[in-house]
Structure 1
Amino acid sequence: MKIGGVMFFTADSMQPADLARAMEDRGFESLWVPEHTHVPQTRLSEYPGGGPLPRPYYEIYDPFIALNTAAAVTTTLKIGTGIALLVQRDPIVTAKMVSSLDQVSKGRFLFGVGNGWNRDEIENHGTVFATRHKLARERIEAMMKIWTSDEPSYDGEFVKFGPMSQWPKPFQKPYPPVIVGGAYPHAARRAIRYGNGWIPRSDRLEDAGIGVVIKQFRDMATEAGRDPASLPITIFRVPDEIPKLRYCQEIGIDRVVFSLPAEKADTILPILDRWAAVKRDLGV
């Protein structure tokens, strides 16, 4: 089981290059960065965590810029969007950003994707909230065409373009893993339909039980004709509790990702050291 960390980078937090080096030095597998382009002052959608949005939601760096910085100072650490909001991104531009970052990192990019919950933010980008899931699927399908074809085209309800050329193609073949974030069962179905993995959050698996939900996901994949082994599971926001993490190992979780606060190095480094000790205890 691999272990990574996720952080909201801001101008006042530990910076991407410094954190990436510290994580690679401690043997962690991956660094992930969330995405919010902005946060409107209106609020049509409640924050899933309850109460007002934490300030880093307003201040977070663009994930691709942060990850490029991290990739430039490391050699083995994988870098991932956790998650990129595709309903707010042009697919042609994003396809080039993904393939470029995958090339400069020599195949270390993990493309975590999601469809978002903040209606105000999403609609500011001209996306209709009610149809965002189909829009996201079409944008992913269109990007896959761009990455794998010399003359890609796409003709969907929301995404349309005729034959075109775009290089570079991704370093990873056929493209970086598209890992779909979100809760069971809806995001799980999307992961099975067009993804190369699934990212649920630990706290949202607890009610039904992690083992129960993971079995349901794998059964769902089998029923859809997908090999569950082709859909590795990454659990975000895991606690540093050895019994729970050992259980994740036992049920075949591919990766767990712990959360880091948007703070300076004097706060972050002791957390990394604690997780490095956890990693040693788990034997990973």
Structure 2
Amino acid sequence: MKFGISMFSTATGMPPHLAAQKAEQLGFESFFVSEHSHIPVSTDFPIGDEVPLIYKSMYDPFVAMAAAASVTSTIKLGTAICILPQHNPINCAKSLATIDQISGGRVVFGIGAGWNPPEMEHHGVRFSDRFSVTQESVEVMKVFWSEEEAAFHGKHFDIQPSWMWPKPVQSPYPELSLAGAGPNILNRAVKIAGGWMPVFAMQWHDSMVGKQTPLETLGEDQQTLRRLEAEMGKPKTIISAMGLPPTPQYIDYLLEHDVERMILTAPNDETSACADTIDQYALAISAYR
């Protein structure tokens, strides 16, 4: 199993390029940044009474990834996650292809459909349309990444034959992973992305439905993934597990279930404190390298 680091990159925490550099030096396979373009004051935060400051002040993920690419050479660089329906898919395809070129083919694109209705609506997307917009956006991006003349005709996007370079270094396109929970997420992950990025709950309660995934259902979820892959003629879905600490209990459980990647969240602390946490994570996983 591979190990990655994720962080909410902001101006008050360790700069993302330094965190990525630190993670690479310690042998982590991947480094991820999160995204919220803004947080409307009217937001109803689903997992607390108040929206934390870090949600209101995240760096642009693509700029952060490009900065990290400039000071690293081997670590994969990704989003965990990019709220895709808030982006123009042509611009998004261009940005990620550029980063994939700059980094030498190290992009991992973790995507989500979003949870915040007013934030989504400020981007001109109806909240009820977010999943269909996400699916079409992925389809548009794949076409622009892989075809010399790209065209797409769907419900949300109607694009006449067009040219766009650069193409990604990774062929036909970078690794894609869909984050989310709920009854339809596995079908969407297989159909749209080829990867699933669940946030696992260590202690499950009913209020987490649709937000996080019960850890104890992982075996059942994998059986469902295998069935869906066979039905759709898709390759094995890559699982990137989030939300768990790097203790032997959880690492062994993920290994037993053949999970491909464990992503550990670094705190939004100043540089020395965040670096210390990444050091501690590296020590905790050293026996599993």
> Cα RMSD over matched residues?
1.4
What does residue 164 of structure 1 align with?
162
The residue number in structure 2 matching 1:196 is: 194
The normalised TM-score by structure 2 is 0.93
1:130-155 residue CA offsets vs partner (Å, 9 max, x unmatched): 11111111111011111111111111
Tell me which residue corresponds to 1:12.
Answer: 12
Q: Supply the AA of the counterpart residue of 1:15.
A: P
Q: CA 1:111–1:102 in structure 2 vs 1: closer, same or farther (change >3 Å)?
A: same
CA drift of 1:97 comes to: 0.4
Structure-2 separation of matches of 1:116 and 1:85: 6
Q: CA deviation at 1:191?
A: 1.0
> Partner residue of 1:35?
35
Partner of 2:131: 133
**C-alpha separation in 1, matches of 2:111 and 2:214:** 22
What's the counterpart of residue 221 of structure 2?
A: 213
CA contact (8 A) 2:179 2:198 kept: yes
Q: Distance in 2 between matches of 1:185 and 1:94?
A: 28
**In structure 1, C-alpha distance between the alignment counterparts of 2:80 and 2:168, rounded to whole Å:** 19
Report the alpha carbon displacement of residue 184 of structure 1 after superposing the two structures with TM.
4.0
Matches within 5 A, 1:115-264: 115-203=113-201, 204-206=212-214, 208-227=216-235, 229=236, 231-264=237-270
> Which amino acid counterpart does residue 212 of structure 1 have in structure 2?
E
Task: Describe the superposition over 1:206-251 as per-residue Cα deviations: whole angstroms up to 9, x where unpaired.
Answer: 3643333333333333333333x2x110011221221211121121
Q: Quick one: which amino acid aligns to residue 258 of structure 1?
A: L
Give per-residue Cα distances to partners, 1:53-87, cap 9 Å, x unaligned: 11101010000001111111001111001111111
Normalised to the residue count of structure 1, the TM-score between the two structures is: 0.94
Tell me how far 1:185 sits from its aligned partner.
Answer: 2.9
Is the CA contact (8 Å cut-off) linking 1:5 and 1:31 kept in structure 2?
yes
- Count of matched residue positions in the alignment of Structure 1 and Structure 2: 279
5+ residue gaps, structure 1: none
On the 8 A contact 1:35/1:85 being kept in 2, the answer is yes
Query: Contact 1:184 / 1:213 at 8 angstroms: preserved in 2?
Result: no
Q: Quick one: which amino acid aligns to residue 233 of structure 2?
A: G
Where does residue 204 of structure 2 map in the other structure?
none
Rounded Cα–Cα distance in structure 1 between residues aligned with 2:221 and 2:190:
14
Q: CA 1:86–1:115 in 2, change beyond 3 Å: closer, same or farther?
A: same
Q: What's 2:108 paired with?
A: 110
| Separation (CA, whole Å) in 2 of partners of 1:207 and 1:197 | 17
Spell out, residue by residue over 1:233-282, the C-alpha distance to the aligned partner (whole angstroms, 9 max, x if none): 00112212212111211211000101111111222122112111122122
**What residue ranges of structure 2 are gaps of 5+ in the alignment?**
202-211
